[in-house]
Amino acid sequence: MTRAMQSYLSRRAAVLGLASFGIGSAAALCSRSAYADFDLELAPSLRSHSRVSGIKFGCAGAAPSVQPDRILLEKFATEANIFVPETALKWDATEPRPGEFNFGEADSIAAFAARNDMLVHGHTLVWYAAIPPWVSQITTSQEAKAALERHIATQVPRYRSKIWAWDVVNEAIEPEDRLENGYRNSVWLRALGVDYIDLAFRLTRAADPVVPLCLSEYGIEYATAASQRRREALLGLLQTLRDRNTPVDCLALQSHLEAHQILDHRELTSFLRSAVKLGYRLMITEMDVNDVKIRGSEPERDLAVARHAAEYLDIVFSVARPMSIATWGLSDRYTWLRQYYKRSDGTPLRPLPLDTDLNRKPMWASLAKFMAA
Ligand code: G3I
């Protein structure tokens, strides 16, 4: 064995050790000139951890036909075994006019996934947003039911066996709307009442008998009154859906985290335990860690992001191993957050596992630790 190979193997073993011991240490190493000692780029990919742990890793992105960022797509195929279309499977993309379907972008993602032995996370069938004007203008229960039936019966079978799981209903609660049970005031609720949720899941189950069906939500992580109201409303909905025998398999925890916030270990743990006790499997589906309010250098911010991610994942894993972890983007280069949040120092946000140059960051090491769990 050559000296170079010996050196590579000893460094790889060291990096493996890096990924397995405390994230604080791993991230701390990354925050100093650890790159001289440990090269995260040599560590096994998140996808390779998935083969061992059985936890799938995904990331959201644009269709190759829309954003042909070849190097980023190579990283997708290296790190992930799930591709989450960030927008390509939403109603405004696939059925812009009644009965007129356009699956071009979604098909390009499905083809890329198939070429790279990946699956697609179906995001999302029924949402209050990303809907075309003709859907926003629905007012009667008959129109709403007919629209849901046609949309789901057309879109779901098309991707059967290519889809890992479906986010059937997205963001159904919004306590700030002050409606009964904290339901969100949406075109669907106004036209059909809360029955729209049960209907959406039954239609999807009829269209695909085996794919896991998810209810997707955000904003339940923190020690704030708003998070507590969301946890209470979501748990109430999960209980209602169980009482109705609605075919919901998973709770999709979007996990859009904010590094400056305080995670509510007790209340979040209690909420997750209650959801699991109701028979819901857990998925982490849109994870990113917003560092808009974290002061300091990039390495210090990266360390804060990595630690916050690890603290959150530790809470989730203490209750149940999620079926999958997906981040909402793979690289800081394309995070959605930059459209809505600006740091006071004017520097770009750093919420994702890879930086804008597609190098692994301490957050990547946090994910590796739990993907290997
Ligand atoms: O493709 C059009 C382009 O042709 C047009 O020129 C441009 C300007 O109007 O808009 C482009 O579409 C945008 C699309 O992203 C693709 O970039 C839409 O306007 C914009 O609204 C859309 O935003 C997405 C948003 O969901 C709504 O679909 C974000 O990228 C995406 O990150 C965000 O993701 C959501 C999840 O689905 C649910 N959970 C929260 C998460 C973040 O908001």
Give per-residue pLDDT as tens, 59-109.
999 998 888 899 999 999 999 999 999 999 999 999 999 999 999 999 999
pLDDT of residue 67: 84
Dist. CA 351 → ligand 1 center (Å): 18
Distance CA 93, CA 334 (A): 19
Give per-residue pLDDT as tens, 135-176.
999 999 999 999 999 999 999 999 999 999 999 999 999 999
Q: Among the atoms of ligand 1, which is closest to the Cα of residue 66?
A: 1
Dist. CA 86 → ligand 1 center (Å): 8
Question: DSSP of 200-250, one letter per residue?
Answer: HHHHHHHH-SSS-EEEEE---SBSSHHHHHHHHHHHHHHHHHHHTT----E
Residue 125 has pLDDT above 50, yes or no: yes
Radius of gyration of the chain (CA): 21
Q: Which CATH superfamily includes the segment(s) 46-371?
A: Glycosidases (3.20.20.80)
Q: What is the 3-state secondary structure (H, E, C) of 15-75?
A: HHHHHHCCHHHHHHHHHCHHHHCCCHHHCCCHHHHHHHHCCEEEEEECCCCCCCCHHHHHH
Residue 193 has pLDDT above 80, yes or no: yes
Q: Among the atoms of ligand 1, which is closest to the Cα of residue 170?
A: 38
Dist. CA 61 → ligand 1 center (Å): 11
Tally the residues of the chain: 373
Answer whether 366's CB lies under 8 Å from 351's CB.
Answer: no
Distance CA 135, CA 117 (A): 35
Mean pLDDT (the chain) is 92
Q: In a mutational test of the pocket of ligand 1, which residue from 86, 94, 287, 338 has the highest number of ligand atoms less than 8 Å from its CB?
A: 86
Q: Among the atoms of ligand 1, which is closest to the Cα of residue 340?
A: 43
Residue 17 has pLDDT above 80, yes or no: no
Answer whether 159's CB lies under 8 Å from 122's CB.
Answer: yes
Residue 31 has pLDDT above 70, yes or no: no
The residue whose C-alpha atom lies closest to atom 29 belonging to ligand 1 is: 336
Dist. CA 92 → ligand 1 center (Å): 10
Q: Among the atoms of ligand 1, which is closest to the Cα of residue 329?
A: 32
Residue 285 has pLDDT above 90, yes or no: yes
What is the DSSP secondary structure assignment for residue 127, as one 8-state letter? Answer: -
The residue whose C-alpha atom lies closest to atom 16 belonging to ligand 1 is: 87
Residue 117 has pLDDT above 80, yes or no: yes
Where are the chain's structural domains?
1-43, 46-371
Cβ count near 68 (within 10 Å): 11
Per-residue pLDDT, averaged over 270-280, amounts to 98
Dist. CA 261 → ligand 1 center (Å): 25
Dist. CA 87 → ligand 1 center (Å): 6
Token digits of residue 260: 């400056």
Q: Among the atoms of ligand 1, which is closest to the Cα of residue 90?
A: 28
Q: How many helices (H) and strands (E) does the chain have?
A: 14, 9
For residue 3, with 0-12 CB atoms within 10 Å meaning exposed, 13-18 middle and 19 or more buried, which class applies? exposed
pLDDT of residue 38: 64
Answer whether 207's CB lies under 8 Å from 267's CB.
Answer: no
Distance CA 351, CA 290 (A): 5
Cβ count near 202 (within 10 Å): 17
Pocket of ligand 1 (CB under 6 A): 86-87, 90, 129-130, 170, 254, 286, 336
Dist. CA 129 → ligand 1 center (Å): 10
The CA–CA distances, whole Å, from 66 to 80, 217, 293 equal 20, 27, 32
For residue 72, give the nearest of 329, 351, 289 by alpha carbon: 329
Question: pTM for the full model?
Answer: 0.92
Per-residue pLDDT, averaged over 319-332, amounts to 98
For residue 306, give the nearest of 273, 260, 351 by alpha carbon: 351
For residue 148, with 0-12 CB atoms within 10 Å meaning exposed, 13-18 middle and 19 or more buried, which class applies? buried
Q: Among the atoms of ligand 1, which is closest to the Cα of residue 123?
A: 37
Residue 217 has pLDDT above 50, yes or no: yes
pLDDT of residue 373: 85
Dist. CA 189 → ligand 1 center (Å): 23
Q: Among the atoms of ligand 1, which is closest to the Cα of residue 124?
A: 37
For β-strands 119-126 and 163-170, DSSP reports them as parallel
Q: Where does 67-212 show beta strands of DSSP type E?
A: 82-85, 119-126, 163-170
Distance CA 152, CA 173 (A): 21
Find the range with the poorest average confidence among 65-69, 189-193, 241-245. 65-69
Residue 6 has pLDDT above 90, yes or no: no
Dist. CA 60 → ligand 1 center (Å): 12
The CA–CA distances, whole Å, from 336 to 62, 129, 205, 215, 290 equal 11, 15, 31, 21, 11
The residue whose C-alpha atom lies closest to atom 27 belonging to ligand 1 is: 130
